[in-house]
């Protein structure tokens, strides 16, 4: 991977702990030559502390993707650290407990709409906010969880991911003329902080470990991170609107 992203300027969202997929993306990207700027939300002191564990400390910008003022000011904050962007990583998702854990029929619109805004609409919001930083094109990569099926306990977050996958295709359509690609990486289950907040998540873990043709390590985010970095590089110049599975081959096999 050395040199794959040499000279690339990347904005990486979603780092919470060093178990986050986004942290692995930032780490692999730095090792591949990229210059990284991170965004954080809520626990800024924690994100700043985790950022120091990267091969090179990375600046952290506070960003609430539901706050229009923060989105509008994002380009100015990014320019304090880099003069533009070549790539963006969207690793943001949130759903209140009421939309998960088998509560699909009981969840109300107020909570569902929050999940959709943060997990789906924010992909478009982040992309459009960063357009002034990408006059020469680039790559946007998001993280999803296979939304082609209905998964136990995932409920409205599965709907949100289906919306994210559709939104990525529409971004590919509308940003293609600007030279900007939009793709997603569909990672298998990993023991991240987000996963631990999903009631019954162990059902995913057991199935993946047992059935993935290549096997699956629940604690290793690097395979997903490498796929993200590959899509951020110049090696996929004509690929957009795609969902790349990094799940040990689980999606390709039957029960």
- To the query of whether residue 124 is one of the catalytic residues in this protein, the response is no
DSSP for 220-240, please give it. Answer: --HHHHHHHHHHHSTT-TT--
Residue 195 near residue 101, CB atoms below 8 Å: no
Going by C-alpha positions, the residue among 141, 202, 199 that lies closest to residue 171 is: 141
Which one from 8, 123, 154, 203 is the annotated catalytic residue? 154
CA distance 24 to 21: 5
Which one from 161, 178, 196, 203 is the annotated catalytic residue? 161
Please report, to the nearest 10 degrees, the dihedral formed by the alpha carbons of residues 5, 6, 9, 15 taken in order.
50
Please report, to the nearest 10 degrees, the dihedral formed by the alpha carbons of residues 246, 205, 55, 125 taken in order.
60
Which residues contact residue 9 at a Cβ distance below 8 angstroms, ignoring those fewer than 6 apart? 34, 35, 37, 82, 83, 84, 85, 86, 87
- To the query of whether residue 154 is one of the catalytic residues in this protein, the response is yes
* Catalytic residue positions, numbered: 154, 161
């Amino acid at each position: 991977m050395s040199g794959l992203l040499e000279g690339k300027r990347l904005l990486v969202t979603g780092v919470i702990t060093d178990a986050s997929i986004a942290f692995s993306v930032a780490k692999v990207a730095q090792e591949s030559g990229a210059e990284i700027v991170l965004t954080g939300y809520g626990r800024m002191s924690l994100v700043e502390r985790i950022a120091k564990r990267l091969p090179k400390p990375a600046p952290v910008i506070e960003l609430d993707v539901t706050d229009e003022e923060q989105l509008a000011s994002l380009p100015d904050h990014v320019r304090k650290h880099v003069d533009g962007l070549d790539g963006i990583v969207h690793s943001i998702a949130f759903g209140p407990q009421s939309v998960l854990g088998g509560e699909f029929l009981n969840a109300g619109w107020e909570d569902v709409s929050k999940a959709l805004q943060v997990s789906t609409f924010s992909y478009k919001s982040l992309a459009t906010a960063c357009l002034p930083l990408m006059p020469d094109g680039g790559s946007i990569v998001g993280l999803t969880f296979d939304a082609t099926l209905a998964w136990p306990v995932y409920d409205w977050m599965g709907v949100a991911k289906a919306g994210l996958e559709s939104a990525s295709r529409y971004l590919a359509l509308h940003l293609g003329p600007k030279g900007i690609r939009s793709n997603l990486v569909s990672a298998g289950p990993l023991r991240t902080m987000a996963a631990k907040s999903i009631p019954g998540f162990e059902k995913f873990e057991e199935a993946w470990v047992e059935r993935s043709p290549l096997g699956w390590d629940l604690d290793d985010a690097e395979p997903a991170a490498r796929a993200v970095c590959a899509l951020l590089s110049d090696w996929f110049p004509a690929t957009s609107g795609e969902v790349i599975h990094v799940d040990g081959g689980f999606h390709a096999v039957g029960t």
